[in-house]
Chain A
Amino acid sequence: MSAAAVAAPPRNDLLGWITTTDHKRIGILYLTTSLGYFFVAGALALVIRTQLAHPNATVVSAHAFAQLFTLHGTAMIFLFVAPFALGLANFLIPLQIGAPDMAFPRLNALSYWMFLFGGLVIFAGAATNEGAAAAGWTSYAPLATIKISTGLGQDLWIVGVFLVSVATIMTSINFITTVFVYRAPGMTMWRIPIFTWEMVATSLLVFMAFPALAADLLLLFVDRHLGGHAFDPAHGGNAILWQHLFWFFGHPEVYVMILPYFGVISEIIPVFSRKPIFGYTGLVISAFAIAGLSMGVWAHHMFTTGAVNNPFFSFVSFLIAVPTGVKFFNWIATMWRGSISFQTPMLFSLGFLMNFLLGGITGVMVASPPIDFQAQDSYFVVAHMHYVLGGGSLFAIFAALFFWWPKMFGVKLHERLGTWCFWLLFVGFNVTFFPMHLLGIDGMPRRVFTYASEGQLPALNLIATLGSYVMLAGVLVFCWNVVVSTLKREPVGADPWRANSLEWWTTSPPPEHNFDTLPPIRSERPVFDAHHPDVAARTPR
């Protein structure tokens, strides 16, 4: 560990970005690419909502609608929510642990490019004769087999998702190795920031769950092109094998999409409450408890098949509420009697808490088989899923953008525009997705391109569509904020939020080698300790 090295001077042209292996640039590439996919997937969602604004609308055909919700779901899950966390972790992990870069910089860049190309391959399906994949983001076999989904779009979906999943596995190995081996002197595992801990738990989940997806996709490819019958019971296959393999990946994937954002919230709340995080150890243990339990709940998506052990999966699903409750308790206890300032990152964090709580409660509801039998494939499940991943992850994503933007680009985003962005998104989100609970209870099935003009369905759908356009306004305000803040260019110092963790020690943006100096690391708040040695001296370790 006595070796040291210096970085070659950075190159700022296009070639410099294309060939970069610097974790910060790769992080920013991940973030911008995933946001690009988010804008596309969001536009698709607006078309979906426009079609559903009125009964019997003809904005798009039934087949086009199926392609729209398939691409929307695929892009949001595989290309936005999860990869955004990878981008954030790429930028932050080496900075938070005091390392000069990731353990495997070239593997890191390879992961990014495979993610980018994988996404483009998925969307390329839209340019084929029969259009993009239309079997939903879950692509259930036999719906996705060659007998039903004959188009090239489905093949491109398989290849694209495979590339993205391999890229994600490589990135997770990189994260684990970096955190275990490349921590600065004194940065013991019990001093690393909660976000980095959550990324270790997430990476472990990816390592365990994503190989099942890769295997599932290979089986589907063999079935479609090489005469396999893995999913065909008439030839000795298993009709629900796809579901088993897919959900063995798919439910942990939900936690891959939420654990990093638990980390984001755990970083932001203490800073804007002017208090240390409450229950550091409890937050770490609960992350791994959630990760472990999430590997044993996959078949709660399959209650209605009648072919799985419902009590087992229901029990384990209920158990996950316990460590999640610990996290909520710790976040609230951190804010308790704190000196809270309601700046934009904190507003989005509070929005996260409220939305995710509702998504979590409906999650506990559908973990009960009798309720799930009623809610399965209805808009109630759509509402639940969006409250977890939209109300939860999306709000944490905006919190992260506002919080770490100064560190990435050296300028703060405009505060008043940020507040507008928050309220438009918060109101728009709830107006869009809360009525979907009622639609589901009224029996509206998911993935239908039209519906009967009966009861509350037209009114609730219209409200949901109006809400989606309010969300669009929120996103546009964010884009305007980026333009205004970039043009104004008011530089910030190293630590504009008076924060705690090591990334706030170095300049904004950081130099290519990350740190010119490091403070002594004696707690999980080294920057706070360095700025307030009197308080640090009084704090028991």
Chain B
Amino acid sequence: MMIGLRLFISSAVFSIAIAIAYWLVAHEIVGTFLLAFMAFALTFVAGYMIVAEREADLYGDRDDAKVSDGAGELVGTFTTRSPLPIWTALAVTCIFLGLVVSPTLAGLGVIAALLLGAFFIVQSR
């Protein structure tokens, strides 16, 4: 995790540096804003990793970890199938397509999204 953290921190520092350099050289607002926004996004992720993940201890980070280190108790069966992704994609596509084609289509997309939300609520109980 440390390398991931370093990656985001160094990217954020680079973004801040290039945003400042660009502003000093070009005095151009759109590009400076875009670079600053990029720096903000990277700093946000780096900050999250520092605050939330600094204690992370992964076997994948240990040079001498054995494969058996990752083995453990059986927690159950996971499925590799779900109808939710295609349903969600259809709902999202209908909503955005409806904005340019027909409000009815957008309405159908919203209904599909609401059904999806209801499914999640029922499933989580």
A residues sitting closer than 8 Å to B (CB atoms) are: 1-8, 10-11, 16, 18-22, 25, 97, 101, 105-110, 112-114, 116-118, 121, 152, 155-156, 158-159, 162-163, 176, 180-190, 200, 204, 207-208, 211-212, 221, 225, 238, 241, 244-245, 248, 288, 292, 295-296, 298-299, 308-309, 311-312, 512, 517-521
Chain A to chain B contacts (Cβ below 8 Å), 29 pairs? A1-B59, A1-B70, A5-B78, A19-B83, A20-B80, A110-B89, A114-B89, A114-B93, A116-B89, A118-B93, A159-B99, A176-B4, A181-B56, A183-B61, A186-B60, A186-B64, A188-B60, A190-B3, A208-B41, A211-B41, A225-B99, A248-B34, A295-B38, A296-B22, A308-B31, A309-B28, A312-B26, A512-B80, A518-B67
Shortest B10–chain A CB gap in Å is: 8
Whether the Cβ atoms of B77 and A8 lie closer than 8 Å is yes
Whether the Cβ atoms of A159 and B92 lie closer than 8 Å is no
Q: Which of A10, A22, A189, A221 contacts B3 (CB 8 A)?
A: A189
**Which residue in chain B gives the minimum CB-CB distance to A152?**
B100
Shortest A243–chain B CB gap in Å is: 10
Shortest B61–chain A CB gap in Å is: 6
Please tell me if B35 contacts chain A, counting CB pairs below 8 Å.
Answer: yes
Contacts of A25 in B (CB 8 A): 80
Contacts of B58 in A (CB 8 A): 1, 181, 183
Q: Which of B15, B72, B81 contacts A16 (CB 8 A)?
A: B81
Shortest A104–chain B CB gap in Å is: 10
Whether the Cβ atoms of B34 and A188 lie closer than 8 Å is no
B residues sitting closer than 8 Å to A (CB atoms) are: 1, 3-4, 7, 11, 14-15, 18, 22, 25-26, 28, 30-31, 34-35, 37-38, 41-42, 56, 58-86, 88-90, 92-93, 96-97, 99-101
Main secondary structure of the interface of B (DSSP, over half): helix
Give the complex CA separation of A187 and B61 in angstroms.
Answer: 7
Contacts of B96 in A (CB 8 A): 159, 162-163
Shortest B99–chain A CB gap in Å is: 7
13 new A-B contacts, CB < 8 A, other than A188-B61, A241-B30, are A16-B81, A19-B85, A19-B86, A109-B86, A110-B85, A114-B92, A180-B1, A180-B4, A181-B1, A181-B60, A184-B70, A248-B34, A518-B67
Main secondary structure of the interface of A (DSSP, over half): helix
Whether the Cβ atoms of A288 and B7 lie closer than 8 Å is yes
Give the complex CA separation of A21 and B71 in angstroms.
Answer: 23
Give the complex CA separation of A16 and B4 in angstroms.
Answer: 35
Give the complex CA separation of A118 and B80 in angstroms.
Answer: 24
Whether the Cβ atoms of A185 and B93 lie closer than 8 Å is no
Whether the Cβ atoms of B60 and A184 lie closer than 8 Å is yes
Give the complex CA separation of A180 and B60 in angstroms.
Answer: 9
Give the complex CA separation of A112 and B67 in angstroms.
Answer: 32
Shortest B56–chain A CB gap in Å is: 8
Contacts of B100 in A (CB 8 A): 152, 155-156, 158-159, 221, 225
Contacts of B99 in A (CB 8 A): 159, 221, 225
**Which residue in chain B gives the minimum CB-CB distance to A187?**
B60
Shortest B110–chain A CB gap in Å is: 16
Whether the Cβ atoms of A295 and B83 lie closer than 8 Å is no
Contacts of B35 in A (CB 8 A): 295-296
A-B pairs with lowest CB-CB distance, top 3: A183-B60, A2-B72, A113-B89
